[in-house]
């Protein structure tokens, strides 16, 4: 029997997003979401922002011309929410950080699909929000054990 050739390991390494205002996107993902920046530049010629997430780079580039901002919620599998079939993503974090992020979202006026987090798929707390370009983002937090009540416990 002939030896099988080793298959290459293929990974998605970069996700490129385009936005109207790189400073506004930076405020959302860095200041409100608490993500750690890898690189940032915003001058008259070029706007760029990058976050390194595990083995994946999540990047934003400033558009040359203004883009339309999405106003509908994206549909995400397993979530009874939006109806727009478009790209969306999920961001997971520790529960304590999630509570802080949720509080910042509420005080900063971030569009929330529901007023408070939900217990989703019987496994994590989730909240669907929109970033400054109208992208639907599921923000979630796994917990070590299922809560006694699936009603949001946070005191805001």
Helices (H), 1-152: 22-26, 95-108
Q: Dihedral (C-alpha) 19, 22, 25, 26: value to the nearest 10 degrees?
A: 150
Asked if 54 and 121 sit in the same domain, the reply is no
Asked if 58 and 76 sit in the same domain, the reply is no
Q: What is the mean pLDDT of residues 16-25?
A: 97
- CATH number (domain holding residue 94): 3.10.180.10
Asked if 130 and 95 sit in the same domain, the reply is yes
Q: What is the pLDDT of residue 141?
A: 95
1 has pLDDT over 60: no
Domain tally, the chain: 2
pLDDT in tens, 66-114: 999 999 999 987 677 789 999 999 999 999 999 999 999 999 999 999 9
Token pair in block for residue 73? 């919620």
147 part of a folded domain = yes
Q: Indicate the average pLDDT of the chain.
A: 92
Asked if 27 and 102 sit in the same domain, the reply is no
Spatial separation of the C-alpha atoms in residues 81 and 79, rounded to whole Å: 6
149 part of a folded domain = yes
- Domain membership of residue 43 as a residue range: 12-65
- Its pTM stands at 0.89
């Amino acid at each position: 029997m002939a030896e099988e050739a080793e298959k290459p390991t293929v990974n998605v390494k970069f996700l490129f997003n385009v936005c109207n205002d790189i400073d506004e996107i930076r405020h959302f993902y860095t200041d409100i979401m608490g993500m750690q920046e890898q690189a940032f530049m915003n001058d008259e010629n070029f706007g760029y922002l990058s976050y390194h997430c595990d083995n994946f780079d999540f990047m934003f580039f400033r558009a040359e011309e203004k883009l339309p901002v999405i106003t509908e919620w994206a549909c995400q599998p397993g979530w009874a929410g939006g109806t727009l079939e478009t790209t969306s993503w999920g961001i997971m974090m520790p529960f304590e950080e999630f509570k802080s992020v949720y509080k910042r979202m509420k005080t900063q006026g971030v569009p929330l699909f529901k007023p408070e987090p939900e217990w989703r798929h019987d496994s994590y707390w989730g909240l669907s929000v929109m970033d400054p370009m109208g992208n639907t983002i599921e923000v979630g937090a796994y917990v070590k054990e299922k809560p006694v009540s699936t009603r949001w416990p946070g005191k805001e």
